[in-house]
Amino acid sequence: METGKLIVFTGPSGVGKGTLLRKLLTQHPELVLSTSVTTRLPRPGEIHGTDYYFVNLEKFQQMVANQELLEWAEFAGNYYGTPRFQVEELISQGKWVILEIELEGARQIRQTFPKALRLFILPPSLWELEQRIRRRGTETEEAIAKRLRRAQEEINAANEFDIQIVNDDLEKALENLEAALFVPC
């Protein structure tokens, strides 16, 4: 049977992780993106069970207490976590599972899944990162400020990851991502 693999995908908010992953998954439908749990409110168009499992704080705390999350962290005022059951099940079936998670969660995964491939996505500059968050138009000023403060801390930790990819030109970044994932044996 083919061996499953865990792939961690991290980078500051607004760098383009979701955009890159949507393209990657269209071209490689055999890859599986884990659906996280969050206490954040849904953005317009986001669907429960597809983009996230949207839960209240009480439910999130219950999941933490019951050890239902593989990793979890607070990010810019909300909680996020990876449901354990789906990831463990999929990997045991030989699937390649991607976690799109922030830095603290990625550090936890490093402890529990040392063989996971860990990728960090960098912006071409902090200025461009801010433009991207603003252009997306999904966050309040307060949330943008929180996310940008966290961005510098995350970028400083990029060297903790196996591979760093700059998302300047989207197509080029996608090519680099594919090269990192599908290295010939």
Ligand X SMILES: Nc1ncnc2c1ncn2[C@@H]1O[C@H](COP(=O)(O)OP(=O)(O)OP(=O)(O)O)[C@@H](O)[C@H]1O
Ligand Y SMILES: Nc1nc2c(ncn2[C@@H]2O[C@H](COP(=O)(O)O)[C@@H](O)[C@H]2O)c(=O)[nH]1
When the beta carbons of 3 and 165 are compared against ligand Y, the nearer one is 165
Is residue 145 a contact residue for ligand X (CB under 6 A)? no
Which residues of this protein are in contact with ligand Y, per CB under 6 A?
A: 13, 17, 36, 40, 71, 73, 75, 80-82, 100-102, 104-105
11 is in an annotated binding site: yes
Q: Which two tokens stand for residue 31?
A: 């890859």
The tokens describing 148, both together, are 């940008």
Which stretches within the chain are classed as H helix?
17-27, 57-65, 84-92, 103-112, 126-136, 141-156, 170-181
- Per the CB < 8 A criterion, the answer to whether 103 and 120 are in contact is no
Taking CB under 6 A as the binding criterion, the range among 42-50, 55-63, 89-97, 131-139 that sits at the site for ligand X is 131-139
Partner whose footprint covers residue 84, from ligand Y, ligand X, none (CB < 5 to 8 Å by kind): none
Query: Closest residue to ligand Y, Cβ-based?
Result: 105
**Shortest Å, Cβ 75 to ligand Y:** 4
Residue 170 found at the interface with ligand X (CB under 6 A): yes
Q: In what order do the strands lie in the sheet with 69-75?
A: 53-54, 37-38, 78-83, 69-75
Phi, psi of 169 (to 5 degrees): -80, 125
Tell whether residue 18 is a contact of ligand X (CB under 6 A). Answer: yes
